[in-house]
Amino acid sequence: MNILPVIIAAAIVGGVGIIIGFFLGFSSEKFKVEVDPREESILEILPGNNCGGCGYAGCSGLAAAIVKGEAPVNGCPVGGAAVGNKVGEIMGVAAEEGVRQAAFVKCGGTCEKAKQDYQYTGVEDCAALSFVPNGGAKSCSYGCLGFGNCVKSCPFDAIHIVDGIARVDKEACKACGKCVAACPKGLIELLPYDAEHIVQCSSKDMGKNVMKACTAGCIGCRLCEKNCAFDAVHVVDNIAYIDQSKCTKCGVCAQKCPKKIIV
């Protein structure tokens, strides 16, 4: 058997491999992107959840933005103040004290309180219900559908369906905002962690229609607004809103609310 062709073929393959390897090595050095060492240091400190709550495409995106001065050193909602202070040390700046936030579901229409127009049987997906009559079986077209798109989106196991509606565990919530984006009804809002009075309703219907649909809905009576001495409560589009920056936590609005939906 003549092995000369085999040797030649092996030599050719090996030679091609060496040439390609040399070319790739040269290219990697020639065209490599210089990375600021601070970016790598920041990336090591960030929690690595890649949740997108900072508004960037993962932790690497935030680290790059911080180094470029496009994002604050305390821009990670998951890491909070502790991570912000460490990042600030790397960047040589003081981290501004941020306000801790937590998600809140603005709906109190539990199975007992919310009425239903019909029995729904089908795909258990909140977004899919936009194609069914009234946007779901609940008489209130603004209410939580209870199929848990928000639950599936939460990387921290901070939100669950309880008695037909979503409920947030404030202690586990990192305010990443994924549940806010996942809710097709727009019922979830990021609010200060220490907020003590929040309107647990999103219905913009007239009071009489609200009462027909749910016993836990805001009827827009304005008693909360009239009795707030700090101009923190206003009724807009038949629903009460509380300005947390003005709220002094006196609790008068909750006391005066006849539907007891300020929680």
Whether residue 121 has pLDDT greater than 80: yes
| Least-confidence region, from 15-19, 105-109, 118-122, 126-130 | 15-19
Asked whether the whole model's pTM tops 0.85, one would answer no
Helix axes 58-68, 80-91, angle to 10 degrees: 40
User: How do residues 202-247 score in pLDDT, each as one tens digit?
Assistant: 999 999 999 999 999 999 999 999 999 999 999 999 999 999 999 9
Whether residue 75 has pLDDT greater than 70: yes
Q: What is the pLDDT of residue 55?
A: 80
Residue type, 51: C
Whether residue 149 has pLDDT greater than 90: yes
Q: Which fold has domain 37-91?
A: 3-methyladenine DNA Glycosylase II; Chain A, domain 3 (1.10.15)
Q: Which fold has domain 99-194?
A: Alpha-Beta Plaits (3.30.70)
Q: Do domains 99-194 and 196-263 have the same CATH topology?
A: yes
What average pLDDT does range 169-188 have in this prediction? 93
Beta 159-162 vs 239-242: how paired, if at all? unpaired
Confidence of residue 96 (pLDDT cuts 50, 70, 90): confident
Among residues 83, 73, 72, the alpha carbon closest in space to that of 49 is found at 83
- Report the C-alpha gap between 228 and 132 in whole angstroms: 40
| Least-confidence region, from 131-135, 147-151, 160-164, 195-199 | 131-135
Question: Which tokens go with 196?
Answer: 């003590």
What average pLDDT does range 101-110 have in this prediction? 95
**Which of 3.40.50.1110, 1.20.1090.10, 3.40.50.300, 3.30.70.20 would CATH assign to domain 196-263?**
3.30.70.20
Helix (H) or strand (E) holding 192: strand 188-192
Structural domain boundaries in the chain = 37-91, 99-194, 196-263
Q: What is the pLDDT of residue 48?
A: 85
Q: What is the pLDDT of residue 168?
A: 97
Q: What is the pLDDT of residue 27?
A: 65
User: How do residues 26-51 score in pLDDT, each as one tens digit?
Assistant: 666 655 556 688 988 999 999 888 88
User: How do residues 179-191 score in pLDDT, each as one tens digit?
Assistant: 999 999 999 999 9
Whether residue 5 has pLDDT greater than 90: no
Four-CA torsion 125, 131, 132, 138, nearest 10 degrees: 60
Task: Locate the DSSP E strands across 68-216.
Answer: 101-105, 159-162, 165-168, 188-192
Q: Give the CA count within 13 Å in the CB-facing half-sphere of 141.
A: 10
